[in-house]
Amino acid sequence: MARLDVTETVQGVFFPGHLHTQDSLQQARSFHFQDSDTLIVTYPKSGTTWMQEVVTLVSRRGDPQMSQTVPNWERAPWLEQYYSSQVLGASQGPRLLTTHLPYSFLGNALQGSKAKVIYVSRNPKDVAVSFYHFHKMANFLPQPGSFKDFLDRFLEGTVHYGSWFDHVKGWTSQVDLVDNFLFISYEEMWLDLRGSIEKVSTFLQRPLEDEELKRCLCHCSFSSMKENRMVNYTLIPQDIMDHSKGTFMRKGQIGDWRNTFSEEQNCHFDAVFSTKMKDSHLNFVWEGPVKEGVSLREEMF
């Protein structure tokens, strides 16, 4: 399936036609969840692949065999992508699923289900920068144009996959309503990977021995994943992802947005953010630690 220039639109949200069809998007919305399913939910560039790796490793007590032999899109398929029914049909045992869909698309399908949902958020300035660079290399996404133009579309919610604000607010407003919901952030994983793995293992009721935990830690580090062809997307042919224009495992930092945002873009972003998030109590970490143990700037809106 190439369809690199095709865009599918559902409820005003754009999706790349290379991976989605109207049928696959419709099927996802009426997906039949099983109580043993685990669903990773993210807005793109928020740490999806990282969480897929964590869950894969935790489920196998740190044994990297699967994460080093099966591509992430086969072991944790996106349920809205066209190939998912084929992959899931062949799968055995509890299923690990992924989605970028907003809550408004999946809420009904999840009603009454005991499937476990892991929502990973990331501060939206870093998401915007990561997404911008990803657009440059992913030939199934539109050319991003200048960063300023891309950022404007990101803030308006007219980029592919829709509005970051609607995504994070839609899903997190369900924390108390959806059974079995774990909310975790990219920054929390970055700042305390060990604690985050423990959190995931507790949530999945898969307690780990110390040695097993150490193995998980080692295999889902940035450096290890950057080398792992099953998650670094180098298996994707050049005409679909142009690897000369960037790498999927790009920087993996908190606060990299500072290297791209102008002062003016930052002020505009903050103004839009505080308006759109005024009814939300979510906290975001915008900067990485500057010196060891100090200067982590955490802002609350």
Could you say whether residue 56 binds ligand A3P (CB under 6 A)? no
Q: Which is nearer to ligand A3P, 148 or 251 (CB)?
A: 251
Q: Shortest gap between Cβ of 108 and ligand A3P (angstroms)?
A: 25
Q: Is 45 in the site for ligand A3P (CB under 6 A)?
A: yes
Residues sharing a CB contact under 8 Å with residue 112, sequence separation 6 or more, in sequence order: none
CA 246 to chain centre: 18
**Number of residues counted as binding ligand A3P (CB under 6 A):** 21
Q: Which is nearer to ligand A3P, 158 or 223 (CB)?
A: 223
Catalytic residue among 18, 20, 32, 100: 100
Question: Judged by CB, which is closer to ligand A3P: 113, or 257?
Answer: 257
Q: Hey, is 148 helix, strand or coil?
A: helix
Query: Site map for ligand A3P, 240-269, x if CB under 6 A?
Result: ---------xxxx---x-------------
Whether 268 is catalytic: no
Is residue 225 part of the contact set for ligand A3P (CB under 6 A)? yes
DSSP class of 179: S
On the CB side of 82, how many CA atoms lie within 13 Å of its CA?
Answer: 13
What x/- string results for residues 154 through 183 when contact with ligand A3P is judged by CB under 6 A? ------------------------------
Q: Rounded CA gap, 281 and 253, in Å?
A: 24
Selected binder of ligand A3P within 46, 99, 121, 139 (CB under 6 A):
46
Distance CA 230, CA 236 (A): 10
Q: Report d(CA 30, CA 20) in Å as an integer.
A: 15
**CA angle 226–220–144, rounded 5-degree value:** 45
Separation CA 198–CA 47 (nearest Å): 17
Report the C-alpha gap between 164 and 276 in whole angstroms: 10
Q: Catalytic residue numbers?
A: 100
The site for ligand A3P (CB under 6 A) is made up of 42, 44-50, 126, 130, 133, 190, 220-222, 225, 249-252, 256
